[in-house]
């Protein structure tokens, strides 16, 4: 793993599809952007943030997630997630997360990922 500087960030966007709704995912009854879908975007954005710093034999896995889903988002809207490295200690990387719909913040939180050796990790299964 190459050194990951504090402040390294990555942005991902997605258009909210009906498949991402709470009613479709099963996390609620409403046709709005679901919390599980927002969490998946947060994890994806964090993974992609540090992926360029990893060796071919390495990957990263989620270890902890603390989020708040602040406001609803309608189907068809575009959401943007920014993940920023705020701490790195050995194989542990901590991210600050912000999810926006235009100028409206809809999600916030922190995420911890661990850099792992893929072969060693898969032997644990």
Mapped onto helix, strand or coil, the DSSP state of residue 37 is helix
> Is residue 4 in a domain?
no
pLDDT on residue 123: 96
Task: Count the domains in the chain.
Answer: 1
Give the residue-averaged pLDDT of 3-9. Answer: 96
pTM of the model: 0.95
> Is residue 85 in a domain?
yes
- Nearest CA among 52, 42, 55 for reference residue 98: 42
Give the residue-averaged pLDDT of 39-56. Answer: 98
pLDDT on residue 80: 99
| Structural domain of 63 | 9-122
Q: Using CB atoms within 10 A of its CB, is residue 44 exposed (0-12), middle (13-18) or buried (19+)?
A: middle
pLDDT on residue 55: 97
């Amino acid at each position: 793993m190459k050194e990951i500087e504090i402040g390294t960030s990555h942005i991902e966007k997605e258009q909210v599809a009906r498949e991402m709704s709470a009613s479709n995912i099963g996390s609620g009854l409403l046709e709005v952007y679901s919390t599980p879908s927002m969490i998946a975007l947060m994890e994806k954005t964090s993974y992609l943030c540090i992926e360029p710093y990893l060796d071919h034999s390495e990957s990263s896995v989620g270890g902890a997630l603390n989020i708040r889903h602040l406001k609803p988002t309608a189907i068809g809207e575009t959401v943007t997630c920014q993940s920023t490295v705020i701490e790195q200690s050995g194989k542990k990387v901590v991210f600050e997360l912000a999810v926006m719909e235009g100028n409206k913040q809809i999600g916030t939180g922190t995420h911890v990922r661990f850099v792992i050796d893929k072969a060693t990790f898969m032997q644990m299964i």
